[in-house]
Structure 1
Amino acid sequence: MNSTTSIIGFIAAILTTVSFVPQVLKVWRTRSAKDVSLGMYLLFTLGIAAWLVYGVLIESWPVILANVVTLILAGAVLVMKLKFG
């Protein structure tokens, strides 16, 4: 993979991963997750875990790093959904 491809991959990874921060902060601050879909976050978190495994199998650092962070953020929202409703 050339450097331009890697840079584009890292930019995409950063943008899509950071997009979850506002949701995590909102649920944390309000202690309310009533409008968050449990089914969506459950499926999404499982999908991110699968992407992480895929990234490890193909040894792609942009995929691995983005999905580790996204898994943590999405998992946090999922846990808060279960805790705060």
Structure 2
Amino acid sequence: MCSEECFGNQYRGCGHYVRIYYTGNRTDCGSPDCALSAAHRHKTTKVCSCSTVTYDQRRVINLFQEPCDDCKEAGYYDRGRRR
């Protein structure tokens, strides 16, 4: 699978990574079974079952010790905590 570089915030409180933006840097996997690769084996067909999914090469800008905003709103952080 090909990959794209992105930057974001890592939240240790819940373990989530929140992507802020993509840099535009793409890494080619070189696989003939990847539709996004330059080495894709059948480029001219209209129907192709090859993978078109990329994965993120995550770069952390900020490291927060608390949970992300979505988890705070959902109340997951407060469950099971002693007061």
> TM-score, normalization: structure 2?
0.26
Task: Tell me which of the two structures has the higher relative contact order, counting C-alpha pairs closer than 8 angstroms and 6 or more residues apart.
Answer: 1
> TM-score, normalization: structure 1?
0.25
**Structure having the larger proportion of residues in strand:** 2
Tell me which structure has the larger Cα radius of gyration.
Answer: 2
